[in-house]
Chains A and B, each alone.
Chain A
Amino acid sequence: MAKTTLIENGRVICPGQGIDKRLNLLLAGGTVAELTEGRPEADETIDATGLVVAPGLIDMHVHLREPGLEGAETIATGSAAAVAGGFTTIACMPNTEPAVDNEAGTEFILLQAERAALARIYPVGAVTKGRLGRELAEIGQVSRAGAVAFSDDGSPIHNAEIMRRGLEYARMFDRVVIEHCEDPDLSGDGVMNEGTMSTILGLPGIPSASEEVAIARNIILARLTGARLHVAHVSTAGGVELIRRGKAAGALVTAEVTPHHLALTDECVRTYDPVFKMNPPLRTASDVAALRDGLRDGTIDVIASDHAPHPPESKQVEFSQAPFGVIGLESMLPVAITELIDEVLDWPGLIATLTVAPAAVLGIDRGTLRPGADADVTLIRPDQRWTLDVDRFRSRSRNCPFHGREVTGRAVRTIVGGTTRFRAD
């Protein structure tokens, strides 16, 4: 008889089933046995009074840096950061060295994930060989090896013809193309949002138009091909509007937004601290408002971290010379709760952006507490006030723009396949 665990007295929120109710959750072996108002006998009981009991959270946009950039993060340290942040499942981007653009590379990720034995990891394969934007990668074989989506993330696919062919080809395997929408010519040598703040600071700007031109082009190509397009880390008001119109016109487009784009503006760059340098860059207050509206009305489907670790020494330099990217696995949930609950989303709405919505984009059967599903569960203490401290993070890197921030809410227990993989002290 498999080991049973009863999680009792929690507020169970399972948006996939439309459940938001005080219920007891019974796990048996590695799967969900039942959701019940009764109190079945179990080998182990977890008291979830005052906690939110959610399906295991999913972060569909993570950079784990392995292979090749292990000084910043490894699959093991990134997995530890994921479960500490409440994530049972993550999808990792292929911009490693070498890029994940073949079967062997994909299998290596899965093997390392198995060795780490913490979170479930889904590889994202490159759309083009070496992420160079010239020739299609072996999308069919890489799909078979386990990649759930394709992306050249970190770089946009510059050539519209290659983008078109990538969408068409990925569609055959029912795989989504996740695109970093940016026009590299318009971005030029920009390092922050173009606007009054970049003018004051004398830093080269990246105009909103750089993102908007690319989103518009890619939605047009998604309609042309009938393929699924997922817009990574939308950051501009114009981008949100283009996605809204694209959806209305019937394009198979979905979108994600990061916590930093929802909570911070380009005013942060005043310090010239590269911890506020990422691409797309922090935009203005009106962009933040538009992103929040996009979440509210469902234009934006998913919240994802774009967790991008960089070793400390690479961020201890002049702003213009530092690499783009910030980490987010361990700050995303508390920042999202603090910034969004009540103002933008209710609890079921927030949990949906972190469970069923990314599962649907990736086409994976997760993010639900339906009986029979894998027993992936995140317990959240919604009212815990605490301070984010990068020195306590499990990630190998420290480049978090929310360090020192007072937040409310955190994951207190992360259960993967019935086994507790993280427990807050």
Chain B
Amino acid sequence: MAQLGEPALEWTRKHLLGLEDLSAEELNIILDTAESFREVSTRKRKKVPTLTGKVVVLMFVEPSTRTVTSFSLAAGRLSADTVSFSKGGSSISKGETLVDTARNIEAMGCDVIVLRHSAPGAPHLLARNLECSVVNAGDGAHEHPTQGLLDMFTIRERKGHIEGLTVGICGDIKYSRVARSNIWGLTKLGARVVVCGPATLIPDGIEEMGVEVFHDLDEFIPQCDVINILRIQLERQKSGLFPSIREYARVFGINSERLERAKDGLLIMHPGPMNRGIEITPAVADGPHSVVLDQVTNGLAVRMAVLYLVCGAKG
């Protein structure tokens, strides 16, 4: 486990763009580093001087509540200076390109840009064109690496290990960046990943990513040690991907009755925001299996670790 403030010698990446690129060793470095940072959040004075003098810019071009708050607190606990802006309050709404906006920010001296953007690959575009570190905080349907990491951190904390577990991901896999980051990270650490959802929301060729596909919850649930339930975007119904919210809730909603067939010690996770009563019933969301709020708490430690590592990688 890394000591606070000690440079992580093994970590060489300047950016965190996705979990697909990372090795199992690199994933473990982040999770171990997060472990050492978690204690900071339990202190009375929740701050360490690790990133004093560093500037972290939170560029959230797509709306976010929990991720931006989490990154902002994480940077603050490491004593970095943070600036945050959203699409409405920025020159992007005046037609400036993403690269120009980011270059201007960089010209003021910044060490890390944390980017949330609706276009897959937007962080890659910045990484190609800027000198500073880029952390992907969610790019369209591509990846959400820190969400994947905090999910893995939560599983490891509760189960003691990831290898050998069967982790299910349920719902709208096609449009989910959370699903992709989880699939890459979990399979690299030796978990079996199974996905379940309507055929219209399971993308072409997903098996090539190393997962098994199910369409029947009653067959899927008993196999899982962990189920990560994804939010169903209500607008998908309008684009013809499933017939109605009522049918979705009935066929793919997770409720207590269905969980009677689950393994003992099943963990229920959800990246939020939840549609209670649709993909998950309140009884499950707030029930004994649920670790939803632990995920949020752990997100802070994971994001502290990521900011610390990418800053350290640059020297």
Contact = CB atoms under 8 A, between A and B. Distances in A.
Contact of A319 (B121, B180, B208): B121
Nearest to A204: B141
Interface string B60-84: 0000000000000000000000000
A168 interface: no
B136 to A, nearest CB: 11
A77 interface: no
Interface string B133-154: 0000001111100000000000
A320 B204 contact: no
A399 to B, nearest CB: 15
B97 A199 contact: no
B177 interface: yes
B20 interface: yes
Given A201-B121, A203-B120, A196 B97 contact: no
Interface string B104-130: 000000000000010111101100110
B315 interface: no
A196 B208 contact: yes
Nearest to B180: A202
B117 A199 contact: no
Nearest to B174: A199
Given A195-B204, A200-B180, A201-B120, A317 B143 contact: no
B119 A320 contact: yes
A305 to B, nearest CB: 26
A199 B204 contact: yes
Interface residues of B, number: 27
Contacts of B120: 201-203, 272, 319-320
B125 A202 contact: no
Contacts of B8: none
Nearest to B123: A272
B121 A203 contact: yes
A316 B139 CA distance: 17
Interface in A275-328: 313, 316-321
Contacts of A273: 128
A317 B121 contact: no
B205 A199 contact: yes
B196 to A, nearest CB: 16
Interface in B160-182: 174, 177, 180
B2 interface: no
Given A316-B97, A316-B99, A317-B125, A200 B119 contact: no
Contacts of B20: 200
Given A272-B120, A318-B121, A321-B119, A199 B209 contact: yes
A272 B124 contact: yes
B117 to A, nearest CB: 7
Contacts of B205: 195-199
B245 interface: no
A272 B125 contact: yes
Nearest to B140: A202
Contact of A318 (B125, B143, B180, B208): B125
A207 B203 CA distance: 12
A319 to B, nearest CB: 5
A66 interface: no
Contacts of B121: 201, 203, 272, 318-320
Given A313-B97, A317-B97, A318-B121, A202 B204 contact: no
A181 B128 CA distance: 34
Contacts of B140: 202-203, 320
A176 to B, nearest CB: 34
Nearest to A319: B121
B22 interface: no
A245 B99 CA distance: 48
A316 B177 CA distance: 23
B206 interface: yes
Most chain A beta-carbon neighbours within 10 Å: one of B120, B122, B208: B120
A202 B209 contact: no
Contact of A317 (B99, B141, B177): B99
Contacts of A313: 97
Interface in A320-346: 320-321
Contacts of A202: 120, 139-143, 177, 180
A200 B209 contact: yes
Nearest to A317: B97
B145 to A, nearest CB: 12
Nearest to B183: A200
Interface string A24-55: 00000000000000000000000000000000
A318 B119 contact: yes
A201 B184 CA distance: 12
A320 B62 CA distance: 15
B217 interface: no
A418 B177 CA distance: 60
A205 interface: yes
Nearest to A192: B120
A207 B204 CA distance: 10
Contacts of B180: 200, 202
Contacts of B125: 272, 317-319
A199 B175 CA distance: 9
Contacts of B274: none
A201 B205 CA distance: 12
B204 A196 contact: yes
Contacts of A271: 124
Interface string A154-196: 0000000000000000000000000000000000000000111
Contact of B206 (A199, A203, A272): A199
B204 A198 contact: yes
Contacts of A205: 203-204
A318 B203 contact: no
* Shortest beta-carbon contacts, A-B, top 5: A272-B121, A196-B205, A202-B142, A202-B141, A318-B119
Given A198-B205, A272-B125, A317-B99, 6 more contacts: A195-B204, A199-B174, A201-B121, A202-B140, A203-B142, A319-B120
26 contacts: A196-B204, A197-B205, A198-B203, A198-B205, A199-B204, A200-B180, A200-B209, A201-B121, A202-B141, A202-B143, A202-B177, A202-B180, A203-B121, A203-B140, A203-B142, A205-B204, A207-B204, A272-B121, A316-B129, A317-B97, A317-B98, A317-B99, A318-B98, A318-B117, A318-B125, A320-B119
